[in-house]
Amino acid sequence: MALLKVTDMSHDFGGLRAVNNYHLEIESGEICGLIGPNGAGKTTIFNLITGIHRPTEGAILFEGQSIVGLQPYEIAARGISRTFQNLRLWRHMTVLDHVKMARYSKLGYGLVGALFGSGRCRRQEAAIEEKARGLLDMVGNGRFAQQMVPNIPYSAQRRVEMARALATEPKILLLDEPTAGMNPEELAQMMRIIRTVHRTLGLAIFLIEHRLKMVMERRWCDAVDGK
């Protein structure tokens, strides 16, 4: 059974059909690429899978269960996480706090524990920070942990989004043009990081890219089965 299966998915915005009869199957641990020019509907497909839009037609199954009609947070809780084509970060939060915030969905203590600083609360808070720092190290952002997001390079901001998405412990990670706006050196670094994340965590990855050269790069294809 495919981890993620999309069948006959179409979506209309008024009289415009943005996605028509789309099919997709991704297995656990697989990397799959969606290639196309700007305006082809790639991000709309991500939005449909993650619950931002509801398909006009078709089915979306995750681990054999329909996720059509679920809210984005419900889909994320099931194991689908994503980044965005346009950065969605908060200017007045540190890099570390961005990643820690995503871990709070995994908390096991309640309001009383938070108010009184129970032992369980302190242990979980320490575990959250340790996990967040580990993810920042994985994506090459450890040295920026205490920096405000506007003060770090653009390519590092992209990696903050990735670390934040990974903090929810997804089974599949959706990356929307993770190398957008990067120079060749930054692009190569991001490719290495994606390979490291895939190898270390063993999760499936579905990425959008409009540059065929990036998807077909030999260093990339040697490490993954891109489609």
146-170 pLDDT, tens per residue? 999 999 999 999 999 999 999 999 9
Query: Which residue carries 């260093």 as its tokens?
Result: 219
Q: What's the rounded mean pLDDT across residues 208-226?
A: 56
Strands 31-35 and 57-62: unpaired
| Distance of alpha carbon 172 from alpha carbon 84, whole angstroms | 15
The set of long-range contacts for 126-131, using a CB threshold of 8 Å and a minimum separation of 24, is 128/100, 128/103, 128/104, 129/96, 129/100, 131/103, 131/167
| Distance of alpha carbon 179 from alpha carbon 190, whole angstroms | 7
CA gyration radius for the chain? Answer: 18
Evaluate if residue 22 carries a pLDDT over 70: yes
| Distance of alpha carbon 227 from alpha carbon 35, whole angstroms | 9
37 pLDDT tier (thresholds 50, 70, 90): confident
Q: What angle do the packed helices 95-103 and 119-138 form, to 10 degrees?
A: 120
Q: What's the rounded mean pLDDT across residues 10-22?
A: 93
What SS3 class is residue 215? helix
**Strand arrangement of the beta sheet that strand 31-35 belongs to:** 31-35, 204-209, 172-176, 80-82
Task: Pinpoint the alpha helices (H) of 22-69.
Answer: 42-49
Evaluate if residue 219 carries a pLDDT over 60: no
- Residue 43 has φ and ψ, to the nearest 5°, of -65, -35
Q: Which amino acid makes up residue 146?
A: Q
Contact 68, 49 (CB under 8 A): no
- The dotted CATH code for 1-79+170-227 is 3.40.50.300
Q: DSSP string of 88-99?
A: ---TTSBHHHHH
What was the pLDDT predicted at 126? 84
Token pair listed for 100: 């820690």
- Which residue ranges does the chain devote to CATH 3.40.50.300? 1-79+170-227
Q: What's the rounded mean pLDDT across residues 24-28?
A: 95
